[in-house]
Amino acid sequence: MQYQVIQSQKELNEFVVKISDVQVVALDTEFMRRRTLYPEVALIQVFAAEQLALIDPLLELDFEPLWDVFKNPQILKVLHSPSEDIEVFQKFAGFVPSPMFDTQFALQVLGEGNCVGFANMVKTILGVEIDKSESRTNWLQRPLTQSQLDYAASDVFYLMPCFEHIFKLINERELVDIVISESELIASKRAFIVPDEQVYLDVKNAWQLKPRDLAVLKELAAWRRAKAHRKNLALSFILKEHNMVEVAKRRPTSLNGLRNVPGIEAMEVNRSGKEILACIEKGKAIVEGQCPKKLLRLIDYPDYKKAAKQLTLQIKQIAQDNDIPADVLASKKQINQLISWSWKKTADERASLLKPDLLQPWRYELVKEVLAEWDV
């Protein structure tokens, strides 16, 4: 396995010229995510036209020539389980490479099971054992070790022949568009920002809270996310989710009272105590009739089990008719997402949110007749 480590503009430009006319590019990234909200990009791996390069994004380089390749609609970009890579590109490059082919999802479409790891894919298809000992290494250190470089290069070196094998099977079944469409959906979901007023709805155990508690939680959830973005800190380093719920329940009025909330950490109070108290006061000041309504879980709806069962059976039949695994067409989570959208969201809330997966291409084209009865 031969590769070059690109560390100059001249090397990058020469590499881009070599791969500009290819039809397929294998991509991967290495990044760190320790305490930060956003991934810290540390390496970009590219393999095309028998040219394999490891590109150092920490250097002051003009990446536009490379970005032109990644944006080229005539070049298929291949990644394995690209959800986090998509986030890396969104943050570092300001766009997501497209069109994109996810080999992990393609294997799911072929009925090989969910979440097939890269190493297992390589072993199954190529019969090669990959050393994963460097997967948790410090990718931001410089210089990178030879072992790190070899590991990073192998990720795209073996990805390409795996893709060629998988693409042949997917193409024979005329399912290439589905795989590409799924990557586009993942990218749109990664880029979407839930409106501030709805962030609290995704907080675990929010359903346990009373309307006044929810008014406080609504303020806390929006503030926590805004601060996390501003400071580039993971949400849990601002205020842990279960502590946020407990604070909303108890609504302390002083820093000492906040310190006495079960589970609250000194770090949380020291860094953000005054801001947390301000959120509490805002929530307490909301007029009673304008507090959020108590949240219902799907299982609290009398007809939920019946509806979920009916929808599941209908989707299984559609999946069978189209020779697609039922859990690929719609997982239990995706079915619940649709039911929640239909039963729990107001028209205004729907207008400000992404549609459920089952209402997005490619799935909607297959299930729209069944979903007509849901009036969505």
* Annotated domain spans of the chain: 4-191, 196-290, 298-374
Given 28, 102, 268, 357, the catalytic residue: 28
With cut-offs at 50, 70 and 90, classify the pLDDT of residue 135.
confident
Catalytic residue among 3, 30, 40, 158: 30
Set 151, 158, 219, 357: catalytic member = 151
Instruction: Please determine, for residue 136, whether its predicted confidence score (pLDDT) is greater than 90.
Output: no
Q: 22 CB contacts (<8 Å, ≥6 apart)?
A: 48, 49, 75
* Partner residues linked to 51 by β-bridges: 48
Taking 70 as the threshold, does the pLDDT of residue 353 lie above it?
yes
Pairing assessment for the beta strands 24-32 and 40-48 based on DSSP bridges: antiparallel
pLDDT per residue over 236-283, tens digit each? 999 999 999 999 999 999 999 999 999 999 999 999 999 999 999 999
| Average pLDDT estimate for 11-34 | 96
At 288 the three-state DSSP class reads helix
Give yes or no for residue 376 having a pLDDT over 70: no
Report the CATH fold assignment for 298-374. DNA polymerase; domain 1 (1.10.150)
User: Phi-psi category of 174—alpha, beta or left, where left has phi over 0 and alpha has psi -120 to 50?
Assistant: left
Catalytic residue from among 87, 155, 213, 357: 155
CA distance 212 to 218: 10
Whether 85 is a known active-site residue: answer yes
**DSSP 8-state class, residue 22:** -
Q: What pLDDT, on the 0 to 100 scale, is given for residue 18? A: 97
Q: What are the tens digits of pLDDT across the range 88-115?
A: 999 999 999 999 999 999 999 999 988 8
User: Using an 8 Å Cβ cutoff, are 239 and 224 in contact?
Assistant: yes
Residue 134 binned pLDDT confidence (cut-offs 50, 70, 90) = confident
**pLDDT per position as a tens digit, 303-352:** 999 999 999 999 999 999 999 999 999 999 999 999 999 999 999 999 99
Count of Cβ atoms closer than 10 Å to residue 270 Cβ: 10
pLDDT for 362 equals 96
Q: Are 97 and 70 in contact (CB under 8 A)?
A: yes
Question: Which CATH number fits the domain 4-191, given the four candidates 3.10.129.10, 3.40.50.720, 3.30.420.40, 3.30.420.10?
Answer: 3.30.420.10
pTM for this structure?
Answer: 0.93
| Mean pLDDT along residues 121-136 | 90
34 — pLDDT class (breaks 50, 70, 90): confident
Decide if 151 is catalytic: yes
Average pLDDT, the chain: 96
User: Do 4-191 and 298-374 come out as alike in CATH topology?
Assistant: no
* pLDDT for 114: 82
The pLDDT confidence band at residue 375, using thresholds 50, 70 and 90, is: low
Per-residue pLDDT at 374 exceeds 80: no
**More confidently predicted of 114 and 355:** 355
Strand ranges (E), the chain: 4-6, 24-32, 40-48, 51-55, 76-79, 100-102
Catalytic residue among 3, 40, 56, 85: 85
For 196-290, which CATH class? mainly alpha
Give catalytic status of residue 213 as yes or no: no
